[in-house]
Structures are given as structure tokens and as C-alpha cells.
Chains A and B, each alone.
Chain A
Amino acid sequence: AQSVTQPDIHITVSEGASLELRCNYSYGATPYLFWYVQSPGQGLQLLLKYFSGDTLVQGIKGFEAEFKRSQSSFNLRKPSVHWSDAAEYFCAVGARNTGFQKLVFGTGTRLLVSP
């Protein structure tokens, strides 16, 4: 069965510094991969997704992620973090071959931004 691991529960980054959030997945076939962001008290918003093709995907709000099959990873990056980026970030994998769509989420990484 597919699974997602986000090894960092909390990360604190200074405003203006670069960011990398780690995500590792377990899935037999080529996965569909997603990063969602959840601001306090809000629903989930899709930042970016990988289905196929170019392994470096660009998303909204200046985020990007790189799919590395050899490492089973899909890490999220941003070159310069803004205070408004403080939120919970979820990596998810979509099952492609089970017959029906199902998203499996990681446990999330809380990003704190210090001044």
C-alpha cells in the first residue's frame, strides 16, 4: 500500500531564508504527487502537483518541488520565505492503479517563520 513520510514535524526558518520540506513516498508504480498547504483555521490549498514529464514542477506562491524516483522523494522548496508562508504543509500521493482515486497524506510539517 502507498504511504507518505514527512520526517520533519516542525521547521523554523528565518524570513528571507530558503526552505526545503522533505517528503518520501512508498508506491509500486509511478506516483501522482501533491503538496498542499493549510493555513491556520483554513482548508487545504494545492501548491503543486507532479503527474509525469519534467521532474521539477513549479507551483503557486513561488514554490517548486522536484521528483526524484531514485530517492522516492518529492521535496518542496522555496528560495525566499515570507512570513505569510507560516502554515502546515502536507505531501500526498495519489493511487493510480487501484481503480479509484485516493489521496494518502503524510503527517504534515509545520513551518514557522521567524523575523
Chain B
Amino acid sequence: DTAVSQTPKYLVTQMGNDKSIKCEQNLGHDTMYWYKQDSKKFLKIMFSYNNKELIINETVPNRFSPKSPDKAHLNLHINSLELGDSAVYFCASSPGSPASSYNEQFFGPGTRLTVL
């Protein structure tokens, strides 16, 4: 199936740990994103990459570090996890260049992170 996939779907961990969430898209898109959805369902963009280059970096703690090994993958690494990091994290992708025109974003199924 052509889609945006994320692993794991659920992640439960202790405060202070380091964890990663992986995202892959096989849609041939050039741009990928990470969003955070908090407990009130509010969705906010965190990062965006175009062809492995960081183009959007919202006000996100340095403990969050995205890594794009190739344009089909955008992983999110989180250091020293805190209680407030508990949320659902969504990966998304869109075709084309983000600087040329607006393109539809396709979302993954989400990763529910719970920090204890």
C-alpha cells in the first residue's frame, strides 16, 4: 500500500529516557513533517524537511531532533523525555517544493507516546 507509516504505534517509557519514532513514506513526496497533538487534540507543526533539508523548525525544545536519512524517511529522536512530551505524534508528507505552491499533506496513523 502507498502510504505514510510510523513505528511504533504506541510507546510507553520512563521520564529521562531517550526514544525515537520512525516515519516512512512511499508516495515519492519531497517534503515531510512532524506534528504534535496534545491531550486536547490540538495539532501543531514541529518540523518540516524538504529533500532532507530542514525548512521549518517551530519553537520546539532542543531535546527533539529530527533526522532525515533520505527523502522517504523522517525520524524523530527525543532526549531526556519529560511528562509533558506525552502526546500523539503525527508524521505527514506532501509532494513538490514547499516554496512553490501549497500541496496537500498526507498523514500517518500517529504514535501515541506516554511518559511515566
* Residues of A that sit less than 8 Å from B by CB: 32, 34, 36, 38, 42-46, 49, 51, 88, 90, 94-96, 99-105, 107-108
Establish whether residues A44 and B90, one from each chain, have CB atoms under 8 Å apart when the complex forms.
Answer: yes
Find the B residue at minimum CB distance from A38: B41
Establish whether residues A107 and B41, one from each chain, have CB atoms under 8 Å apart when the complex forms.
Answer: yes
B12-42 interface code vs A (CB 8 A; 1 in, 0 out)? 0000000000000000000100000000111
Range of interface residues on B (Cβ < 8 Å): 20 to 34
Cα separation A103 to B103 with both chains bound (whole Å): 10
Q: Given contacts A43-B110, A88-B41, A100-B50, could you give 5 more A-B pairs where the C-beta distance is less than 8 Å?
A: A46-B105, A100-B56, A101-B102, A104-B45, A108-B41
Establish whether residues A103 and B45, one from each chain, have CB atoms under 8 Å apart when the complex forms.
Answer: yes
Establish whether residues A32 and B102, one from each chain, have CB atoms under 8 Å apart when the complex forms.
Answer: yes
Contacts of A49 in B (CB 8 A): 104
